[in-house]
Structure 1
Amino acid sequence: MKQAATASVAREAKSAKRDPEGVRRDILTVAMEEFSQNGLSGARIDEIAARTRTSKRMIYYYFGDKEGLYQRVLEEAYGKVRGGESDLELEGLDPAAALEKLCRFTFDHHRRNPAFIRMVMIENVHHGRHMRLSETIRDLNRPAIEALEKVLRRGQESGVFRKGVDPLELHWEISALSFFNVSNSATFSHIFGGSLFTDEGQETLSRHVAEMVLRYVLRADHIAATEKAGR
């Protein structure tokens, strides 16, 4: 029985060699949906296999076990948002415009990728256990703080941003505003109605989140000058 199973896996692996990355991408895409909807314990490998171009045995062949697949999906989720940040090309913008663009990107990415938010919520239920095991996630997130630090430094050196703003704290604040919009959308809209979650409402929130962050970081005299010019 064991030899037959091994031979079957070998045949599937040989077949997958024609497009191994395509197979892996399919598995990760479906696994993201399954884990984000049902959590680690509720997700079913059989369901993931049924919806992809592979089998349960091949999933284990690629990722080791269920927790290995879950960790890889978590890494993929963080990789997507951090990759998007690196594509913003903030270095070519003035500091205020760069910070506004980063805020808007974070807010808009999160609302368009609710599976990412659910994955982060699920990992917090597990007390970050799988993140601690992943060097990839640590390496992915470190540049996010470094990029924000560079924007803040440029703004402070040019006299636009005030001194004493901590990049890690600012990252927390941007993330918190953008995260709550998705994590609590069901309960918030049930209590207060769904006006903030229409396309128009979300665009307004995205703009206002960036404005709040900028007002926190900008020097008071720069805010006053900008408001005076806008009158």
Structure 2
Amino acid sequence: MTLNAPPTKRPRNSTKTKAAILTAARGEFSERGFEGARVDAIADRAGANKRLLYHYWGNKEALYLAVLHDAYLEIRSGERELSLSKLDPVEAVDRIVRFTFRHYLANPWFPRLLAVENLHNARFLKQIADIPQLHSPLVAELKAIVAKGSAAGIFRADVDPVQLYISIAGLGYFYVSNMKTLSVIFERDLSEVYMVQEREAQAVQMVLDYLQTRSDA
């Protein structure tokens, strides 16, 4: 007589589960804010047991910090993949403006999450130790692009790379975060492809116009 072997448990894929929880938490925190977000709702959205959430992060605040940190890691990783240092200055600026604009557009949860954190006066962001180090390579890269353009006689030399990035990010952030209200105010659907393309092209041109050398004539 042959006895049936006991069913084996499927091994847990912790990496996949953690990624699903982070994705679900992005949506919950960006839609409902930190206070309004519920751990039960995050677990349901992720299709995961709530106990796993506590097992991996301990509490809601730690999960929110992980979501915030992951959000910055994602956009910085995308910027590194652009290999801006290999491009000529104008192309590099064009590429970083379009990438930033499209990142906000493709990830509308991101500007909403930033709005949530700003409502908290960056209280949670201040707890993430490597945020300055995470952003310093981008600032250095923009500084190098401006220097290269200045050496070629096409860019101004008196450009603060931090201010430059704030301008680049602002052009995309404002459009995406205010798309619904602006569409009502101006009676145009700003989510239409042609409107998005027009705005992206204008953002690129505005930054390049600012960077161009000034004529004394």
Q: TM-score normalized by structure 1?
A: 0.85
1:138 is matched with 132
Cα distance, 1:93 vs structure 2 = 1.0
Residue 15 of structure 2 is aligned with which of 16, 21, 26? 21
1:1-231 alignment runs, 5 A limit? 18-220=12-214
Q: Distance in 2 between matches of 1:167 and 1:152?
A: 8
Q: Which has the higher helix share?
A: 1
Q: Distance in 1 between matches of 2:113 and 2:10?
A: 28
Which amino acid in 1 is paired with 2:149? G
Structure 1 moving runs of 4+ over 4 Å: none
Matched residue count: 208
Pair 1:22–1:188, CA change in 2 (3 A): same
Matched residue SS, 1:129:
coil
Cα distance, 1:16 vs structure 2 = 9.0
8 Å Cα contact 1:36/1:115 also seen in 2: yes
Which amino acid in 2 is paired with 1:178? G
8 Å Cα contact 2:182/2:190 also seen in 1: no
CA RMSD of aligned residues (A): 1.7
Q: Distance in 2 between matches of 1:184 and 1:101?
A: 23
Which amino acid in 2 is paired with 1:141? H
8 Å Cα contact 2:23/2:46 also seen in 1: no
8 Å Cα contact 1:36/1:119 also seen in 2: yes
Give unpaired runs (5+ residues) of structure 2: 1-8
Q: Distance in 2 between matches of 1:79 and 1:160?
A: 32
Q: Distance in 1 between matches of 2:61 and 2:115?
A: 16
Q: Distance in 2 between matches of 1:124 and 1:116?
A: 12
Cα distance, 1:136 vs structure 2 = 3.3
Pair 1:16–1:36, CA change in 2 (3 A): farther
